[in-house]
Structure formats: C-alpha cells, structure tokens
Amino acid sequence: MAMLESGKPSFAERPTQEAKQGQNKPPIAILGAGLMGRMLAISLMEDYQVFLFDKDSKEGQQSAAYLAAAMLAPLAESADCSREIMQLGEMALALWPGFLKRLDTPVFFQQKGSLIVAFEQDKSDLKQFKSRLKSSDYKVVSDAEMEQMEPGLNPHLKSGLYLPNEGQLDNRQLLNAMASTLNNSDVFWFDHMAIESTSSGFQVAGEPLESFLNESIHCNSRSNSHNQFDWVLDCRGLGAQADEALKADACDMASNIASSTKMLRGVRGEVVRIRAPGVHLTRPVRLMHPRYPIYIAPKTDGLFVVGATQIESEDTRNPTVRSTLELLSACFSVHSGFAEAEILGIESGLRPAYLDNEPKIIIKERLVSINGLFRHGYLLAPVMLQQCLTILKGSTDEESFTQIMPKLVENHSVKPRR
C-alpha cells in the first residue's frame, strides 16, 4: 500500500466504501483546507470519516487565510458592514477560545480591545467613522489616555477611540496548529490535489495522480465507490469561482452551485509582516486612512502584521509600491520605533466575496458551499462552523444563526433532506 508521510494510505489506496462503512463513521468530503475547511474537518472528525482535499500544500500559502491579519473586530468593522455581521462577529468572538482548546498546540488569541487613532488632519474622518459604528460600546479617549494605554505612540496622534471588546489571533499559528491536529487524527488529508468542477460533477485532478483525472465525486451515488460521501462541503474560497464557467442548464450539483456562486469575486488585499522587538503595543492600533483602514496588529515575539489594503480588483500581482509605502508609512507615523523594524514579507492576495460582501451557506441536496467570507473570515468563522454543524444535524430554526441573519443560508435542494 502506498503510504503518505503521515503513515496514512495515499489517495489511490484510500478506503473503499465498504471499508469506510466498517469504520462506523459516515464519510464526508471537504473541498479546500483553508480556514473553513480545516475548522470543519476538526469539528467533524469525531463523527465522520473526513476526506479533506486541497490543491495546495499543508502550509496553506495559497489560501486567503494564510495572508490575513486575523483581526476580530466586529465593532470597528461595523462602520462599513451590516449590523447582522457585527452581531455574528460578537458571537463568534466568544466561540473562538472553545475551538482553540481543541487544538494540539497553543495559538495566540487576544481580546484586549483595539485603539482607533487619527492625526489632526484626519480628525473629521474619525468623527465620521464613529457616527457609522453600529453600537455605542466604545470610549472616546484623550491624548493623555492614549499615552497611558500605549506609551510609545506618536504624541501628535490627538484623537482616539477605544473599542474594549475587539480581539485578534495569529492566523499562521492557527493554520499550523490545525494542520498538526489533523495530522494526528484519522482524517485523510490529500494535499496538492485540486478539485475541479465540470458539467458532470467535481473531479479530483491532483497533478501527481493523473490516473484519477476522471473520477467524479458524487454525493448521491449509491454505488460502492471510493468517492461516495454522505456530504460534500465546498470550502474552496475563491477557488470555487471556476464553477462560473459551468453552464446553468447542466443539472449536476457543481453547476447548481455555480449558478449561486456566479457572483463570487476576489477583492485584493496587501499585507506587510515586520519584526520590531523594540516596539511595544499592547493591542492592535487602527489608523484612520482616506483609502482603507490600516491595522497595526502586534502578535508574539516582536511580530507585527500591518494591513490590509482593500482594492476592488482581482489583480494577483505582487504588492505595489504605492500600497507598500502607505502601509509602511502608517507604521512609522504611529510609532517611530518601526524605523528599525525588519521587513519579513510583503504579500498580496484576494478575499473571496459575493457582491454584497456578506457570507453565504448554500445547500443543494447533500452539497453545502460555505463561501464569501470577504474580510470577515476570522471574525465569523466559529459562527459559520456552528451553522454548518447545525445544517448537517438537521437544523431547527431556534438553533440557527439565520434568526439574526436570514440570508446567511440559502437552500436550493429539490429533495427534502433525510
């Protein structure tokens, strides 16, 4: 039997349906091992035999999850999103510690609030921002109070707001901790294995395994095949955009999802990671900026994540000079200690978003697509996860987050679920 490094069978040697049934756990396929795919795999692995597929390596460098600043800032985000997203974000923040406890290794998670600051010339932007916040759970802070909270800040920052309940985590630590937890479980994780949508279903087309090019994953097939799953969860983020190419008149599950995901788009973001052991910030600082909010988020060991730009474009080029200058000057203007910081990386990527910038869970029979998390993936992930688990269990309205946001779930199923 060909074995993976983890000691688990390779894709070619994965268990047959009979063997899977013998394990007494129903098989479930998760497409995409970014943020949502990994979280779902961990939450489902006790009750299901999980088969996780990703086109990328286990480091997940191609995911939006890898790039993110991982701010958990429901109130600050509410200036530019709906009240419902803010409420779901507040609920998700309370759920994060419980999820993190399930991981093999610790992950930096902090809830010490965030500080929103502005220079004199941007004072009116801050006032405007404050008027757009969808809750009054903030405090206006004087420059003396700011100095007390974050002693090293530029003394020319005259106006500030303190949002006491905001949080953040270290996204790369989280992705690694989830990978380690999954590697130590009975989950079958097939990396470097792209899933493609065709007019006849999903296909597994991993480069090194060309012999499987024509195998389709059918949720409802009753054959005793390798690829029969009780549920298929599509967590491919922007990778699901390829479904758009499918014709709307095809009647397979992939194209049905395609008709719903046709409005999926990428929203460009650029992020700088720097190491500045000499700079001490207790919490993320968000600087008012005319084009987009810029966070300076202190993680551990002197690491700061600065970002992110938000540009309405699917441009996948490396970061531009303009964006890099804006991000770096924001740092330097907030705290002069950043002058000697080491630049670890400047990266760009795309956030998966629907036209309304709100997430959706789309159900089509036994296929569930979780997508459109936009700039709120970390903010909302625990709630999206709970909502999926509720759907898989057979949801009741009382347990559902659709009470707060009715359009969170779209059910396109023809057949009632069993």
Ligand X SMILES: Cc1cc2nc3c(=O)[nH]c(=O)nc-3n(C[C@H](O)[C@H](O)[C@H](O)COP(=O)(O)OP(=O)(O)OC[C@H]3O[C@@H](n4cnc5c(N)ncnc54)[C@H](O)[C@@H]3O)c2cc1C
Binding site for ligand X (CB under 6 A): 31-37, 53-56, 60, 62-65, 67-71, 194-195, 235-237, 239, 269, 271, 307-308, 349, 351-352, 371, 373-379
In the bound complex, what is the minimum distance in angstroms from residue 205's beta carbon to ligand X? 8
Return the number of the residue (160 or 237) whose C-beta is nearest ligand X: 237
* CA 305 – CA 285 distance, rounded (Å): 11
Q: Closest approach of Cβ 414 to ligand X, in Å?
A: 26
d(C-alpha 134, C-alpha 111), whole Å: 19
Residue 395 near residue 411, CB atoms below 8 Å? no
Rg of the chain in Å (alpha carbons): 22
Distance in Å, CB of 37 to ligand X, minimum: 6
For the bound state, the minimum distance from the C-beta of residue 398 to ligand X, rounded and expressed in Å, comes to 27
CB of 148 to ligand X, least distance (A): 26
Cβ closer to ligand X: 138 or 295? Answer: 295
Whether residue 308 has a cis bond before it, omega within 30° of 0: yes
Of the pair 27, 237, the CB lying nearest ligand X is at: 237
User: For residue 412, what are the contacts with CB-CB under 8 A and spacing of at least 6?
Assistant: 256, 260, 362, 363, 364
What does the alpha-carbon distance between residue 306 and residue 226 come to, in Å, rounded to a whole number?
A: 45
For ligand X, which is the closer residue by CB, 155 or 346?
A: 346
The smaller minimum CB distance to ligand X, of residues 195 and 246, is found at 195
Structure tokens given for 332: 């330097």
* Alpha carbon distances (Å) from 124 to 118, 120, 130, 144, 288: 9, 9, 10, 20, 10
Say whether 40 sits in a helix, a strand or coil. Answer: helix
Considering the complex, what minimum distance in angstroms separates the CB of residue 416 from ligand X? 28
Q: Which is nearer to ligand X, 274 or 379 (CB)?
A: 379
In the complex, minimum distance from the CB of residue 17 to ligand X, in angstroms, rounded to a whole number: 22
| Cβ 138 vs Cβ 159: under 8 Å | no
267 or 341: CB nearest ligand X:
267
54 contacts 37 by C-beta, under 8 angstroms: yes
